Amino acid sequence: MKVVGEWRHICVDAQRMFCEDTPWHVPWMMRVLPQLQELSERHAARTIFTRFIPPTRAEDAIGSWKDYYRKWWMMTGEHLPKELLGLAPSLQALVPPARVFDKMAYSPWVDGRLASRLRQENVDTVVVSGGETDVCVLATILGAIDLGFRVIMLSDAVCSGADETHDAAVDLLGDRFSVQLELMQTEAFLSAAADQPIA
C-alpha cells in the first residue's frame, strides 16, 4: 500500500508539561515518544506539532474554561514555568523544518487557521499521533473528519493518562468512523509513505 495524495503529520501536544512531573503528567507519553520521534524525523517537513497553551490566569479564559482553569490554577501561565509549554526536547530539535501550531482549546480547528493552511498546501490526508487519545487527539480527529480530510490515526503512537478511555476512544474511532478514518501502526505507515516527495 502507498499513501495516496498530499498528507501532513499532526503530532498532538507532545509537550514537556505532559511528559514531566506536573498535575497533567501522562505516563504513556514517554512510551510513545520513540514512534513520534521516528515519524517526525523522517518527515519533518510534513510535521506540525500542536501545543496546548493555557491562559495566563483563569479569568483570562472564556466561558466554562474559566471554571476549568480555576480547578487547574497551577497549570496557568502565571504559575507554570514557561519552558514546560515546549515540546519534548527531541521533537523541538526538529523545528524547523517541522512547524509548531499553538491552540487554546482541545481542537486545533476552532479558529480556522490550521485548516486554511492545509488547504493552501493541497493537503487531503492528516496523520495523527500524540496525546491524549480521549481528549485532544479525539478532538483533532473528529474536526479533521468534519472538514473532509482523510484521517490516519497511528494506534501505537497515541496515548492517554487513562487506559480505559484510551482503549474506548480507539475502539470508537476504529468502529464508528471506519469509512473516514484508518488505524495503522507507525512502521506500516512509514513503509507506505516511503520515498513520497512533498508537493
119-135 residue pLDDT tens: 999 999 999 999 999 99
- Does residue 71 belong to any structural domain of this protein? yes
Torsion of CA 19, 20, 26, 29, to 10 degrees: 20
- Pick from 16-30, 38-52, 73-87, 163-177: least confident: 163-177
pLDDT above 90: residue 76: yes
User: How confident is the prediction for the chain on average, in pLDDT?
Assistant: 94
C-alpha 89/C-alpha 102 separation (Å) is 17
CATH code, domain carrying 41: 3.40.50.850
Sheet holding 7-12, edge to edge: 99-103, 47-52, 7-12, 125-131, 150-159, 181-184
pLDDT above 70: residue 2: no
State the pLDDT at residue 1: 56
Q: Per-residue confidence at 162, pLDDT binned at 50, 70, 90?
A: confident
User: Averaged over 56-84, what is the pLDDT?
Assistant: 98
- Does residue 123 belong to any structural domain of this protein? yes
pLDDT above 60: residue 157: yes
- Does residue 73 belong to any structural domain of this protein? yes
pLDDT above 90: residue 199: no
CA-nearest of 23, 32, 77, 31 to 51 is: 77
CA-nearest of 177, 135, 109, 167 to 24 is: 135
- Does residue 198 belong to any structural domain of this protein? no
- Does residue 2 belong to any structural domain of this protein? no
State the pLDDT at residue 196: 66
State the pLDDT at residue 94: 98
- Does residue 145 belong to any structural domain of this protein? yes
- Does residue 129 belong to any structural domain of this protein? yes
C-alpha 146/C-alpha 109 separation (Å) is 10
Q: Is the peptide bond before 78 cis (omega within 30 degrees of 0)?
A: no
Structural domain that includes position 140: 7-193
- Does residue 1 belong to any structural domain of this protein? no
7, containing H or E segment:
strand 7-12
pTM over 0.75: yes
Q: Per-residue confidence at 68, pLDDT binned at 50, 70, 90?
A: very high
- Total structural domains within the chain: 1
